[in-house]
Structure 1
């Protein structure tokens, strides 16, 4: 099985739909609050900052693994755009447009 650079870049482009963005944001906030609270409580109970930093750092890695890749459940609600009715400008006609200064 061979992979090309196009396959790799297509996988890592990270396109997700709007509902997927809301879901990713919700997961981010919930996990961040969970790891922040748990790291504070464990560090407070054991009176050791190393435990707090280790738990919070592990939480950041877990959050990055869960949130960063464009998983399939982030793309369940794709938008269907309306077709273009009529095109006003094309790439050729935009360069032909001349803006005249206003005469006073």
Structure 2
């Protein structure tokens, strides 16, 4: 299942991680381990942040993914299941039956 792993961490924590060389190391390790199909970074409410789009084979991977960001950057995270356009088309292919049964 595709999951958007949204994360943010304080500017102070980010500054310390950059000075120590930890930020680059953590993001490199996350990229190698999670193999995201996309990775984006941004500022949000004065914090550093971003998100990865990753594929998870099973829900138990949530804990391991979260802990990487908790321990690596003391980050706040949010995990959201997401679809690409092909997934949406596939999901909507049965909508007429759903409408017939529930609409």
TM value normalised by structure 1: 0.29
The structure having more radius of gyration, on CA atoms, is: 1
What is the TM-score with the length of structure 2 in the denominator? 0.29
